[in-house]
Amino acid sequence: MRIQEFLEHHGIGGNPFAEEDAQNDTVFKRTCLESTFHPAWDKVYGDPDDPSTAIVFGEKGSGKTALKLQMVRQFERHAADHPDRKTFVVVYDDFNPFLDRFIGRVGPRRPVEKVLAHWKLWDHIDAILTLATTQLVSQLLDGGRGRPRLGPAQARDLALLAACYDQSTGETFPSRWARLRRLVGYRTWRATWPWWLGIVVLTVFLGALAGSLTRGAGWGGIVPSGAPWWVPVAVVLIAWGPWVWQRARAWWTARTVVGSMRTGNRTVGQLTQALARMPTVDLAGQPLPRHARSDDRYELLAKFQGILTSLGYGGMVVIVDRVDEPHAINGQADRMRQLVWPLLDNKFLKSPGLGFKLLLPDELYRFIEREDEQFNQRARLDKQNLVPNLEWTGETLYDIASQRVKAASTGSPPATLAQLFDPAVDQRRLIDGLRTLRVPRHLFKFLHRLCVAHCHSHTSEQPVWTIPLERFEKELAVFRRDQEAFDRGLAPR
């Protein structure tokens, strides 16, 4: 008997338990995304009008990625209902590009653990500003909403942030930066006077030389009486002096910025070109990520938040997920700790108008329990809406499975989870059995394996449309044994 026949008999279209990752789970995205929440949802999500920080620890498959997708959806719904106080959401879950650049600059031939020991808070802030700035610039340029309402100072701030952090690959940096400047009304003509001065003097010199040659006077026709021959050349060179000085200063600044931004991919040439187009008065006293410290990054982050406020955003949320997946981390707890620990700074996590949602593997909580007083004073996890374990009860797992069956149903009334089982497998026995699976991913794996095993034990000519108690008990025992072996690292599952 094929599993499709079994499911279709109960009015279920498609296997509701086939997918194990929320990122690719169509059933979850279609229905459960907005209907099935973890009991700790309110604590994690918080109030979108006043973003707060939450730190969640959970084992693999406990629903951290599902939480991320649900938060993104709820923030989108809140923005649609309250366009005057939207929340700007940054999903910080792909660390590979940032870690690759960081390792390439700090020590490509050194052990990864020693390189990650140099990863600091400002590297995280650079990465977050890169994602946020690129996302905002893309929204402004591609949104088709006309010119945003930004004052001159904020237009300058956005141009400066884009010069340092915008890393879109959709078009070249010079053209994208020029489009942004025109859109926000940031005028850079005051920075072009050295170039125009050099062009005008050079044009006058060449015109005088051409006229002198036409009259037959030669080179001497443009040299004042009694003056040395090199005077006109010196005048031209002096006229180009301000432009050379401007470029040299921009190059030096760009060089220090690129050297300090260890997670960025901006080149010295690109940044030099941008900084040279910004008037000196606009750059004077402005923070730039030129040093190995967090202070400048805090100021740049505050500037970015000020821009968001002018654009109608009430706050900003950064969702951190999948810290165990980068190939440089490779699921190793020590490396995850080196990556995540710089983020656990109370000053940063409690930044006004900024909320962090840290969805972390449960292996890291074991390190938390062993940390000293100095770490606890810096992190102040007691203030961060801490969820030590993303636990699921048997009842909530039963509800999740029931909701998925209902979402995949094609008939009316919709199918239920209970109708897949023989009456001997009552709801209490189901709940008790599912409780031992602990997390949704194990739940889906087990129910998929159970349905397949039941169908394989019967033919299409003599089908059995309900799963008997014996099959449920047998498959549950085998699955739990495999699960325990996997937890001990003895066998893959």
Pairing of strands 86-92, 386-387: unpaired
Strand order in the sheet with 86-92: 86-92, 313-320, 354-361, 54-58, 386-387
How far, in Å, are 100, 199, 223, 301 from residue 291 at the CA level? 21, 36, 50, 15
- Asked if 35 contacts 471 with a C-beta cutoff of 8 angstroms, the reply is no
* Cα gap 42→35, rounded to integer Å: 14
pLDDT per residue as tens digits for the range 237-271: 888 888 889 899 999 999 999 999 999 999 999 99
The model's confidence at residue 226, banded by pLDDT at 50, 70 and 90, is: low
Position 20 scores a pLDDT of 72
Q: What is the mean pLDDT of residues 90-106?
A: 96
Give residue-wise pLDDT tens across range 373-389: 999 999 999 899 999 99
* Structure confidence at residue 202 as a pLDDT band (50, 70, 90): confident
Band (pLDDT 50/70/90 cuts) for residue 102 is: very high
Give the confidence band of 229 by pLDDT, cuts at 50, 70, 90: low
DSSP state of 356: E
Residue 210 has pLDDT above 90, yes or no: no
Q: How far apart are CA 12 and CA 14, in angstroms?
A: 6
Express each pLDDT in 47-59 by its tens digit: 999 999 999 999 9
Q: Stretch 431-444: mean pLDDT, rounded?
A: 92
- For 317-366, write each residue's pLDDT tens digit: 999 999 999 999 999 999 999 999 999 999 999 999 999 999 999 999 98
User: Residue 158 is encoded by which pair of tokens?
Assistant: 């956005």
Q: What is the DSSP string of 371-414?
A: --HHHHHHH-GGGS-EES-----HHHHHHHHHHHHHHHB-SSSP
Q: Identify which of 180, 234, 178 has the alpha carbon closest to the alpha carbon of residue 202.
A: 234
**Res. 144: pLDDT tops 70:** no
Structure tokens belonging to residue 414: 């919709």
Which pLDDT does position 225 carry in this prediction?
Answer: 60
pTM value is: 0.89
pLDDT higher than 60, residue 492: no
Domains detected in the chain: 3-11+392-487 (no CATH), 54-147+160-170+297-387 (3.40.50), 189-277 (no CATH)
The residues near 50 (Cβ < 8 Å, ≥ 6 apart) are 315
